Amino acid sequence: MAVPDRMGRVLSVTSEMVPLIKTGGLADVAGALPAALSPHGWKVVTLLPAYPGVAAKVGRTEVVWSDPALFGGPVQVLRGMVGAATVLLLDAPHLYDRAGTPYGSPQDFPDNPQRFAALSWVASRIAREGLTDGWRPDVLHGHDWQAGFAPAYLRYGGETPVKSVMTIHNIAFKGMAPAAMLGGLRLPFEGFNANELEFWGQLSSLKAGLALADAITTVSPTYAAELMRHEFGMGLEGLLAHRAADLHGILNGVDEAVWNPETDPAIKPFGRAKLAARRANKLALLAEFGLTDAGGPLAIVVSRLTDQKGIDLLTACAADFVAQGGTLAVLGAGEPHLEEAMKDLVKAHPGRIGLRLGYDEALSHRMFAGGDAVLVPSRFEPCGLTQMYGLRYGCVPVVALTGGLADTVIDANPMAVQAQVATGIQFHPVDALAFAQALRRLHDLYADPKGWALMQKRGMAQALGWDTSGSTYAKLYESLTA
């Protein structure tokens, strides 16, 4: 594909980005966008906070923007490279030089409204004024609540040729702040109304972005449709329905170079043509978790342990799954009551259920390579990458029929099996009964080795990269800037 002489310019504003800092899927998407957009004529530059250790990972940098006093202290923007991607680091020690996660742990940092308003403010100033060398974007693209005020600051600053896009990765997190912070966050008092900044008497940075951006995207077509319904919109469904013409569902992709079972250094390599070689990874995974193969499927869970992810449904169904001959390996951390429930299951089923609390990237690769099925019983899932990793590695997904899970997995119903198109198992409604029934279907399908292998191979053949999504983002940018 020919790249235009003058590439379009995008300032992507995010709180995390692989390989610099990651707490969830947002980082994967932010890290993938530069390479995904480049073939389609758009140069993405990513702005994120300079948390401890991030600048060291970038290496050589130069100062390209500064402000002597922003929300309590001086700030500067450092430009550097991560591979082929250009990054801008917001260096503000008074806001970001802290131990723990980017957002605070176990409690959120009390000044998170100022910390991420600062990120948004700087993004809007760069969009308006440019960097010291004159670089300025054509499009400002904010991600989730952490960048929600960026389109607002841009709009409130007056006329500008720069257009804005706001992406919802998870609408459950709205970036709430007391209304009394309005002036301190450099927001106009006249903007505090039901159509712009106000959300149930408070400020919401996410709502601000959704109300004032030129276009809105979310990370799967099904999630875009769900967000206009009360049970998924979480109070913002009316706004999104009003802006339906500006809302676009663009499915996330995965990095097919990083998630490639034929070249993955964390596992014993295998491919569609040599699927039998996959068994070595299953045996290694059973040994790593201290599990015994009981003849049934080895299911894995790689997830935050929260109610949103349906982990309470897993704890309700795990004993029945094991009784039928299954084994279960779980990696994750989250809500204390669910962590304790998982520990109790391990004690009740030694050698059949294994648990690792926390997150380990290399272990997750080994789990997808060795597990027979990956369980994703989420109550809502904007896109989900876990099921895509499963498909890539022949680890058959068992998913709730919601969001991106519905868009990426073809259910093994009788007609799909007959047509030889099934890639996994879907269940609905999202409750313990339906999940238990899905797990019984998993046992039945696994008991047919030939049919199971064909389903694995179909999943591994799916196109799950960023080619189509990158093209779709490019067309959206072009429509805004034409």
Annotated binding-site ranges for ADP-alpha-D-glucose: 22
List the binding residues.
22
- CA atoms of 335 and 314, how far apart (whole Å): 14
Using CA atoms, how far residue 5 sits from 86, 207, 415, in Å, is 19, 37, 49
**β-bridge partners, 154:** none
The rounded distance, in Å, linking the Cα atoms of 277 and 264 is: 14
Listed residue (86, 145, 102) closest to 120, CA to CA: 145
Q: Which DSSP letter does residue 383 get? A: S
Nearest CA-CA partner of 31 in 213, 324, 257, 249: 257
Task: Pick the closest to residue 368 from 459, 441, 448, 305 (CA basis).
Answer: 459
Output the CA–CA distances (angstroms, integers) from residue 481 to 6, 160, 302, 473, 477, in the order listed: 14, 12, 40, 13, 6
- CA angle, residues 140, 146, 149, in degrees to nearest 5: 55
Containing H/E element for 165?
Answer: strand 163-168
